[in-house]
Structure 1
Amino acid sequence: MIKIYHNPRCSKSRQGLSILEASGKEFEIIKYLEKELTSKELLSIISKLGIKPMDLIRKNEAIWKSEYKGKTLSDQEIIEAMLKHPKLIERPIVINEDKATIGRPPENILNII
C-alpha cells in the first residue's frame, strides 16, 4: 500500500495528496505531526529514500536555525532532532513498497506510483 507522510498545513503536502487522490490508487495518510514516528520508522524512510538524515531536514525551520544550525551533528543526533521536532522532516514523503520520494516538487510522486 502507498503511504503519504502528510502535513495538511503544507501546500506541497496538499498538492502531493491531490496527486495520489487523482491516481485512483489506494493509499494511507500518515499525519506525522499528530502520530509521532518511531526511530525504526524514520530509519526505514531514510533507507528507502536512499539519502543521509541531513537531506531530510527542513533547514529553514525556526527550530533548526535556533537549536541546530552551525553545529556538527552525527546522523544519530539528526535523527533524534527529527524525532523530537517532527516539523524538521521534509514533506510530503510518499512510499510505495520499497520505493520512496520526497514530494518536492510534488510531481516527484508520479515517479513511484
Structure 2
Amino acid sequence: MSTQIYHNPRCRKSREALKLLEENNIDFEIIKYLDEVPSELELKALLKMLNLQPIELVRKNEKIWKESYKGKTLSDADVIKAMHEYPKLIERPILVHNSKAVVGRPPEKILDLIA
C-alpha cells in the first residue's frame, strides 16, 4: 500500500491534511510538488485517478492563471502543460492511495479515501 501527498508547506489546507494523516498513523510519502514538479505524464495519471478534467485541477485565482490563461480557449493538453510549467496552478493537497486520488479540500476528504 502506498500513500502519497502532493504537498505545499505554505498552504494551510495542505498542512491540515498532513496533520490528519499523522494523527491517523498513516504511513505516507510527501511530494513537494513545487520542488519535484510532476511531468505532464504524471499529471495525466493523477487526473485519471482523480477522475477530473484538467481544468478542474487548476487554481484559477492564481496570478499567473489570470494574467496568462483566463478567458483563452485551451485544450486539455494546454492546461496540463500550464500546470507542469507553473506547478503553483495545481490544486492542493492531493492524496494518492492505492491507485485512487482525492483533492483534500476540505482536508477531511482524505480520510474518506484512506478509510
Interval containing the TM-score (normalised by the shorter chain): over 0.9
Equivalents in 2 of 1:73, 1:39: separation in Å?
15
Q: How does 1:1-113 map to 2 (within 5 A)?
A: 1-113=2-114
| 3-state DSSP of counterpart to 1:105 | coil
What is the distance in 2 between the residues matched to 1:36 and 1:51?
A: 19
Distance 1:97 1:84 in 2: 27
3-state SS in 2 of match to 1:45: helix
- TM-score with structure 1 setting the length: 0.98
CA RMSD of aligned residues (A): 0.6
Q: Structure 1 runs of 4+ off > 3 angstroms?
A: none
In 2, distance between residues paired with 1:108 and 1:46? 17
Percent identical among aligned pairs is 54
Query: Please, which runs of 5 or more residues in structure 2 have no aligned partner?
Result: none
AA aligned to 1:23 is: N
Give 1:55 shift. Answer: 0.3
- The residue identity in structure 1 corresponding to 2:95 is V
